[in-house]
Chains A and B, each alone.
Chain A
């Protein structure tokens, strides 16, 4: 047999979509050609199996919760989010103040109590998150350098307290970052993360100043 339908014609024939002008010639050929008839049978078997696939597959059980949190779940208010983040922040601040006071008292020659700490200048308006994160990392690094320099002369309990404080601060930052990752378009969370960075930067710089000057 010199002529065989091409792949497109056989597929169109199996789909029932072959143009009328070609249909009779292809059908007549298939009736006499075992090879082409086998191809069409194979195609029809595949089409039947595809059509029999279940239209529905149960999604993972946790998917509804993910969808719900992105749609109908009530969003926590800005105040609630701030409150949630304020707890670790307050803990961090308390530890830092105690540690700074103690170390100042410990190293001061006249033991007359901690010196007055000047509050850093407020951060420039519009400071971006990337810049804030870089400043936060730099402030942390600077404080750790000061700690390393003075570690031998400081009470181990105070060093431990400061290091614990840094971990609490890092956890607060991670909480805010996780909240932002879950809802990147949420301006409130962005503002909270930025505010968290600014608070941490201010505390870290103040601590560095106190310990750097003693």
Chain B
């Protein structure tokens, strides 16, 4: 294996879990999250040459993943062909035996949010992005970001 290939595999091993978690929460669909994660790493491989080292590679990869998820949502956010829904959350239950029940409920409830509200909630309350950053990345007004966030929180409080 070449040095580049070995480094790329290490990049995948170190970041795949975080990227997959982001994609899963952003799209609410396990199969689609797998496709989006694959897309993130393939694009990362093709764009590594443009990485200028101004931020950590993991930060650059995370931004790339956010952009890919947002683009997917802007295209209509169609569910994956394999149509594995997050509703049964088996994908999470299998991997998180130690998770408190409350967190499982929250994961499940996030998956049921309307797409735009889910996207804003995940980016702001889970990933820690600021309203202004979300507005810029999503191409919507800050006021709209806040409105979607408050809607998401209201719905989640009703469902959890």
For residue B154, which residues in chain A have a CB less than 8 angstroms away from its CB? Answer: 7
Q: Is B113 engaged at the interface, CB distance under 8 Å to the other chain?
A: no
User: In the complex, are the beta carbons of A57 and B126 less than 8 A apart?
Assistant: no
B→A interface (CB under 8 Å): 1-2, 4-5, 8-9, 12, 16-21, 24-25, 34, 37-38, 41-42, 45, 91-92, 95-96, 99, 102-103, 106-107, 121, 125-126, 146, 149-150, 153-154, 156-157, 160
Main SS at interface, chain A: helix
In Å, the complex CA distance between A54 and B103 comes to 9
- A60–B80 CA distance with the chains assembled, in angstroms: 15
**A43: contacting residue among B19, B99, B153, CB under 8 A:** B153
Determine if A117 is an interface residue (Cβ-Cβ < 8 Å): no
Q: Is the CB of B17 within 8 A of A59?
A: yes
Determine whether the beta carbon of B96 is less than 8 Å from that of A7: no
A-B contact count (CB 8 A): 95
Besides A7-B154, A51-B126, A71-B45, 10 new A-B residue pairs in contact (Cβ under 8 A), listed by A number: A11-B146, A11-B149, A42-B157, A43-B153, A46-B157, A56-B18, A57-B20, A70-B38, A70-B45, A72-B8
Closest to A52 in B: B103
A55 an interface residue at 8 Å Cβ cutoff?
yes
Separation of A43 and B153 alpha carbons in the complex (Å):
7
Q: Are A50 and B126 in contact (CB under 8 A)?
A: yes
User: Whole-angstrom distance from the CB of B79 to the nearest CB of chain A?
Assistant: 17
B153 touches A46 (CB 8 A): yes
**B9, A72: Cβ atoms under 8 Å?**
yes
* Residues of A that sit less than 8 Å from B by CB: 7-8, 11, 42-43, 46-47, 49-60, 63-64, 66-68, 70-72
Asked whether A54 lies within 8 Å of B21 as measured between CB atoms, the reply is yes
Given contacts A49-B106, A57-B17, contact A63 B38 (CB under 8 A): yes
- The answer to whether B41 and A71 touch across the interface, beta carbons within 8 angstroms, is yes
Contacts of A50 in B (CB 8 A): 106, 121, 125-126
Would A72 and B17 be within 8 Å (CB), given that A11-B150, A46-B157, A52-B103 are in contact? no
- Top 3 nearest A-B pairs (CB, nearest first) are A56-B17, A59-B20, A72-B5
Most chain A CB inside 10 Å of its own CB: which residue of B18, B34, B38, B106: B38
Of chain B, the residue at the smallest CB distance from A50 is B125
Closest residue of chain A to B45, judged by CB? A71
Given contacts A47-B125, A54-B21, A58-B17, contact A64 B12 (CB under 8 A): yes
| Contact across chains for B41 and A8 when beta carbons are under 8 A apart | no
CB distance from B38 to the nearest CB of A (A): 5
CA distance in complex: A91, B37 (Å): 40
B146 & A8 in contact (Cβ 8 Å cutoff): yes
By a CB distance below 8 angstroms, the chain A residues around B45 are 70-72
Please give me the residue from chain A that is nearest to B40 by CB atom.
Answer: A67
Query: In the complex, what's the smallest C-beta–C-beta distance from B110 to chain A, in angstroms?
Result: 8
A59 adjacent to B156 (CB under 8 Å): no
Do A53 and B153 have beta carbons less than 8 Å apart? Answer: no
Residues of B within 8 A of A66 (CB): 34, 38
Please, which residue of chain B has its CB at the minimum distance from the CB of A49? Answer: B106
Q: Are B95 and A57 in contact (CB under 8 A)?
A: yes
Please name the residue on chain A nearest to B48 by beta carbon: A71
Q: How far is the CB of B21 from chain A (nearest CB, A)?
A: 4
Contacts of B20 in A (CB 8 A): 56-59, 63
Q: Which residues of B contact A51 (CB under 8 A)?
A: 125-126
Tell me which of A8, A63, A70, A71 contacts B16 (CB under 8 A). A63
Q: Are B34 and A60 in contact (CB under 8 A)?
A: yes
Separation in Å of the A74 CB from the closest CB of chain B? 9
- Residue from A11, A56, A57, A60 with most neighbouring chain B CB atoms (10 Å): A57
